[in-house]
Each structure stands twice: as structure tokens, then as C-alpha cells.
Structure 1
């Protein structure tokens, strides 16, 4: 991600600086929590420097570049999207029973208000944009409901993307402002493909944390398909590790991500930076899958795989 972070470094610094300044006006009891959460998302302070959340605040620039939007408008929506990102992060934590529920819900409400205010300032309650927001919010809500009742489907990019559906609002807004509303549908498909790849990557990263609710994790769902498990049999960490090495489960996930990235690349009007973002994530998954494959082959050749599983299982 470093090349995109470097390309937009000045804008990212401005976005987070502006958001931090505006958050100073929150009620005192919420301000400290909000600023701390904002700081956790600042990509240049992260040790991993991955910045996978950059799509939330850089998408306005990526879409704006394709339709010639004013930079001031892109900046306004980017700051608004930071508030939206933080608001939905807090809601996710509440649903995952993390953090203080009362404080998280209160701050999420305040941040969502700031998110909507940014759009209202720019578009004065455009009914078309309001309809888009309602649809994206409904997609997000559907994802939350279905996550409890149905296993995730790694082969359904639209469903994979729904947990982040509200991020698409900036794209709809910029296309409406540019007078090309007819392109909203295609842009939604492009963004969904990028979000699907991001979700696959996140599910790989979070598989240990997600084991108690394995059916919500696309990687674990894919891995389970290749294991001889009985109906209702619960995955444990040692099973997953065996699937990663013996069944090369990450390779299957990387192949799916590559397919989605290729579909995105074939869309002529998709923002170039969105394609780059998706390609970087896909290449990272493929590199890791190749590393695991090569390590597995080496262990087999050296006769050390059973010892490895005994130590790490």
C-alpha cells in the first residue's frame, strides 16, 4: 500500500488534521475517545503501514479523478468519510461485544451525524443521494443480519462488500455532481469488487479471532469445504493450520481475490487507483500463499512437517 499512501500523503495528512480539528468541538466526554480512535487509523503511525482502510477516505479522490471533481469537494467528502468509517467501526465493535457499549453507541451516533453533515453541506439533501444512502445502509444492515444466520459466501463479491456498503456514498455523490448518474451502477460494481477483495484479505488476517464464529469468515468457510468434517463439527486452530498447509487453503482464497481483481481491471471506467489498491491486496495474498506452499514443500522434503504440526498445532 505504500505507493498509494505516498502518492496521497499530503492529502491524508490534511484529511486527518482537519478531522482532528473538527473533533475538538465534540462534547468533552466523547472527544478523547474520538481522537484516540482517529489516531489508531492514521496510516503513517501504523507499524504495519498497510493502510487497508485508506479506501474509506481516498475513494473520493479516486472517483473524483475520473470525473474531474473539484479537489475541495473531494476533501470535504474524504473528511466526512473518516467520520463514517469511525462510526461503523464502533458499531462493529458493539456487535462483536468489544469495548464499552454505551460509550461506543453514543460516539458512533455523533460521528454518523458529522458524516451526514459533510454530505448535506455539499449536496443540500439531494433526494437521489438520499435514496443511495438509504440503499447502502440497507445493504449494510442486511450483511449484519445475514452474518448471524447464514455462512459467508466467498464466491459472492456483492455480499462480501456489503459490510462496507456506506463507503459507496461518496462515489454516488461525485457522479451526481458531475451529471453522470447513469454511471452509478457500474461504479458500485467496481467498488464492490474492491471491497470484496479487501474483505477476503481481512478474513485471512483475522481467522484466529473469528474462529468462534467461523461461518462469518470467508477464509474459514472456504477452508472448511476442503476438510473431511462432519456436519456441526467445529473448527479448531490445529485443523485450520493443517488446512492452510496441507490443503493450501490460502491459495484458493488468493485465486478468488485475483478473479475479482481481474473483473475490476476489465472495467474501463473504474478508477485507476481503485484498481491499483485491489491489485496490491491481491498480490499480497498470492505472495503469502506462495510462501506457505514453498515452506510446506520444503518441510515435506526435509521430513519435518509432522514435527512442525506437533509444535504449532
Structure 2
């Protein structure tokens, strides 16, 4: 992973900085915060590796040429922001039947401490009158709109790039680097580039999570595509059988991967010099294509009497 290896040492320092700052939180939030961060620490086995949040500032090096400390500081800010927004997502996604009295007390308290670090880190780089804070406001508004309207408006069916709204704060990593590198002229193009990457990243997440989202009733790009391809209304609640039939028998994932491939072509047409962003996106697209190919090859095995694949399909239908 050439988009990761060159920055491995930098990231080690970034996570050490974050760990040290969280250790200063009042107990028990320092320990709760440490455990929570470990769930996303790229160096922890089994963690959720949200590479783009950690690495986006470093990927701007080819266009900005800032000091190494600046990229590490921006990465630190992004990690605190990531943790803050993930807690918001956890709370919003909690089903009422799973709620118990007081369960959000520690989460909300921790979230506010993380948000303070998030803001404070950026304030050390950008004074209150900096245009950075206008972008900050815009991205938070995009996130809010995405959270509220994603499923109501069915973004993936009508305008897939709007899917990126829910991850808009990630763009602070590129916008901040471009402002510090005196390249504000590149921010609109970088924002468009990132919207395309964030779309594919959400598509990947939704492929991985579609069964859970079926159960929870959460919005999901793949499930939206299945309904669209079958001329089903947006309000239709897909059954597990309908989803599995589309995926394993009718190869909907092939169409899904083609959408990601088309997105990659848009990135290749970009005027920006962002080789690591392009490489990262290609990794995502290749993985989706591989998943679609595995299903297609499995179908061929079924057609030729592949017993094990036949049994695995039956277990899903």
C-alpha cells in the first residue's frame, strides 16, 4: 500500500500524540477514550482502519510542501474529529429498544472533550478570522444535511455524489493543508475529488454492512441500487431473500462495482496532483471488482454443479 507505507512512522507519532492528550482527560473518560480510540488505531490488530481520516493531510504533500509537523498536526485534528463524529453516529444509530437509561452519559461527555481537542488543534493553526472556519461551517452543514436527508431523498438513486455529505468533515484535512500551502485556488477541485472518493468509500462500507443495515433499516447504497434496479419504490423494505437473490443470483454487485469504476475514471481526469489519493481509491475499486468477480465465478461453479457453492447459496436464501 504505497499510499500508507511512506507515512507509517508519522502515523505512529500521531496516534501517540492523541493517546497522550486523551490520557489527560478526567477519569474515567481518559480510560474510556483510550479504549475507544484503540478501536480505530491503525496499529491495533482488528481495529477499524479509517485510513482516509488519518492520511489525507499527508496525501496533500505533492501540492503543498509544508513541514512534517504541520501534516502530523492536521492528522491529529482529523483523528479527534473522526472520533467525535463516530460517537454522534453511534448515538443516532442506537435503536430505541437497545437504549438503557444513562447509556449515553459517558459517550456525550467524551464526545465534548474530543470536540474541544478537535477545535483547539485547528485554532492553533488558523485564527478566528481565517477563511478556514467558513469551510469548517460548510462541511458541518453538509454533514448535518447528509445525516438527515440521505434516506429521505435516496441520494444514491438520485445523485450519488451527495452520499459524500455524511463524511464532509473529512475534507478539512485537505482544505486545511491547501490553505496553509497558499493554494486556496485548488480547494474546489480538491473538494470535488474527495466527494468522489468518499462516495466509493461509503459504497464499500455499505457492501460490508448491508446485512446489518437490512436488519436495522438503515440507509444503504447497495440496497438502494437493488430497489432501483427492480423498480421498487424507495419506501419498499427489502427482505433478506430479495437482497441475497439480487447479489448472489443476479450479480447486482457487478453493476455496483461498475459505478465505482466510473468514479475512478473521474478521478483520473482530475487536474490535481494527488497520486496517493488516486492509488487509495483504486484499492477500493479493485476490492469491489474482486468481490463481484468472486460471486460471478461462484455462479459458474453452481452452473457446473459446484456442490459447496450451491450449499452456501442455499444458506443465504
Structure-1-length-normalised TM-score: 0.92
Question: Aligned partners of 2:154 and 2:237: how far apart in 1?
Answer: 13
Partner of residue 60, structure 2: 63
Q: Is the 8 A contact 1:203 1:219 kept in 2?
A: yes
Question: Aligned partners of 1:166 and 1:231: how far apart in 2?
Answer: 28
Q: Is the 8 A contact 1:152 1:216 kept in 2?
A: no
Stretch of structure 1 that moved more, 153-162 or 84-93: 153-162
Q: Is the 8 A contact 1:154 1:160 kept in 2?
A: no
Partner of residue 33, structure 1: 32
Q: Is the 8 A contact 2:2 2:276 kept in 1?
A: no
Deviation at 1:270, TM superposition (A): 4.3
Q: Is the 8 A contact 2:91 2:104 kept in 1?
A: yes
Stretch of structure 1 that moved more, 236-245 or 16-25: 236-245
Question: Aligned partners of 1:191 and 1:232: how far apart in 2?
Answer: 30
Deviation at 1:307, TM superposition (A): 5.1
Question: Aligned partners of 1:17 and 1:260: how far apart in 2?
Answer: 35
Partner of residue 238, structure 1: 241
Alignment of 1:111-130 (within 5 A): 111-130=114-133
Equivalent in 272, 275, 278 of residue 275 of structure 2: 272
Deviation at 1:137, TM superposition (A): 0.2
Question: Aligned partners of 2:70 and 2:129: how far apart in 1?
Answer: 15
Which digits, 9 at most, give the CA deviation of each residue in 1:24-74, with x for residues without a partner?
111112111111111111123234x883x1110111111133221221111
Q: Is the 8 A contact 1:214 1:235 kept in 2?
A: no
1:228/1:127 Cα in 2 relative to 1: closer, same or farther (>3 Å)?
closer
Q: Is the 8 A contact 2:40 2:48 kept in 1?
A: no
Partner of residue 6, structure 1: 5
1:73/1:233 Cα in 2 relative to 1: closer, same or farther (>3 Å)?
closer
Deviation at 1:266, TM superposition (A): 1.4
Which digits, 9 at most, give the CA deviation of each residue in 1:230-254, with x for residues without a partner?
7754212222111102221111111
Partner of residue 257, structure 2: 254
Alignment of 1:50-199 (within 5 A): 51=49, 53-97=50-94, 100-153=103-156, 156-199=159-202
Q: Number of aligned pairs?
A: 310
> SS at the partner of 2:28?
helix
Deviation at 1:212, TM superposition (A): 3.8
Question: Aligned partners of 2:291 and 2:60: how far apart in 1?
Answer: 30
Partner of residue 263, structure 1: 266
1:155/1:201 Cα in 2 relative to 1: closer, same or farther (>3 Å)?
farther
Q: Unmatched 5+ residue regions in structure 2?
A: none
Provide the aligned C-alpha RMSD in A: 2.2
Q: Is the 8 A contact 2:62 2:273 kept in 1?
A: no
Partner of residue 286, structure 1: 289
Question: Aligned partners of 1:162 and 1:222: how far apart in 2?
Answer: 19
Q: Is the 8 A contact 1:129 1:173 kept in 2?
A: yes
Question: Aligned partners of 1:22 and 1:127: how far apart in 2?
Answer: 25
1:27/1:154 Cα in 2 relative to 1: closer, same or farther (>3 Å)?
farther
Question: Aligned partners of 1:54 and 1:236: how far apart in 2?
Answer: 33
Q: Is the 8 A contact 1:214 1:221 kept in 2?
A: no
Q: Unmatched 5+ residue regions in structure 1?
A: none
Question: Aligned partners of 2:16 and 2:118: how far apart in 1?
Answer: 16
